[in-house]
């Protein structure tokens, strides 16, 4: 379903109906991206709710500079990172970040999440540093181009490619099985 018409919304449109359609079309993408950023299913649930609340409030500001999907993912990212400003949330996140800084004992929640994951690839990606993780997820899962990722993250395209390259190298070192590919 395409939402291009949102670029030309006039007064009197059915906001709740549009929101309902956006939820149906994109709730999984929003939730998946939030999960990849926070590595918490509970936070992803809350963030998904907050994202569509923000969408409801900001619907009139969408002007089509980006696709509706990129716009939603940017809101998802902002809300996910804003949650770090909350002290309780930041503390929880920092605890979850511990494995990245050398600890061999992942948090209980991350461990539980690991058990839910059906794919080794996702388990490994969630262990990447967030900067590499989100580029990898946006590229491989959300199928965004380098340019779209650069626009979403407000980064130069070269930086996006560099982060993707480093993410791939890290993943290749720890991933077992599958078809290998030479070069980036």
Partner 1 sequence: MTEYNLDLERQLQERPLPAKQVQVSLESITAEIRPNRNGRSRWLLLTSAAAIVLVITAGLWAGDMTWKQVDHIPPADSENQAGVANQQNSSPIKDLIDLHRLTSDEWKSLLSGTSIDPSIELLHQEKLTDDTNVVFFINQLSPNSEYQIVVANVRQSEEGEYKSVSMTSTNVSKQWTPGPFSEGNAYFLQMAAIGREGSDPLKGQLIGIIRDSKVAAIRMTNEVGDHVDADVIQSASGDSFFFGRIPDSWLEGLRRYMDVSALDNDGAELKTEKHYL
Q: Are 35 and 51 in contact (CB under 8 A)?
A: no
Q: Which parts of this chain interact with partner 1 (CB under 8 A)?
A: 1-5, 8, 10, 12-14, 16-21, 23-24, 27-28, 30-32, 35-36, 41, 45, 48-49, 52-53, 56-57, 67, 69, 116-122, 124-126, 136-137, 140-141, 143, 165, 168-169, 171-172, 175, 177-184
Dihedral over alpha carbons 17, 19, 24, 30 (to 10 degrees)? 180
- Output phi, psi for 105, to 5 deg: -115, 100
What are the tokens at 184? 């980036």
Q: Which is nearer to partner 1, 91 or 100 (CB)?
A: 100
Q: Which is nearer to partner 1, 91 or 108 (CB)?
A: 108
Q: Which is nearer to partner 1, 1 or 102 (CB)?
A: 1
Q: Could you tell me the smallest distance in angstroms from the CB atom of residue 156 to partner 1? A: 21
Q: Could you tell me the smallest distance in angstroms from the CB atom of residue 139 to partner 1? A: 8
What are the tokens at 131? 């900067």
Q: Which residues of 71-100 are buried (b: 16+ CB within 10 A; e: fewer)?
A: bbbbbbbebbeebeeeeebeebbeebeeee
Q: Could you tell me the smallest distance in angstroms from the CB atom of residue 154 to partner 1? A: 22
């Amino acid at each position: 379903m395409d939402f291009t018409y949102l670029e030309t919304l006039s007064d009197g449109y059915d906001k709740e109906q549009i929101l309902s359609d956006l939820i149906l079309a994109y709730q999984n993408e929003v939730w998946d991206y939030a999960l990849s950023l926070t590595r918490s299913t509970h936070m992803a649930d809350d963030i998904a709710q907050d994202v569509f609340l923000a969408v409801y409030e900001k619907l009139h500001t969408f002007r089509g500079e980006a696709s509706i999907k990129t716009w939603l993912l940017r809101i998802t990212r902002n809300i996910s990172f804003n949650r770090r400003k909350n002290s309780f949330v930041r503390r929880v996140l920092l605890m979850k970040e511990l494995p990245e800084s050398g600890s061999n004992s992942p948090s209980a929640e991350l461990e539980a999440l690991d058990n839910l994951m059906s794919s080794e690839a996702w388990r490994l990606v969630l262990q990447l540093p967030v900067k590499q993780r989100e580029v990898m997820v946006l590229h491989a899962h959300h199928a965004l181009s380098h340019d779209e990722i650069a626009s979403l993250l407000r980064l130069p395209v070269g930086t996006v490619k560099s982060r993707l390259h480093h993410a791939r190298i890290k993943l290749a070192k720890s991933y077992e099985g599958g078809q290998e590919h030479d070069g980036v």
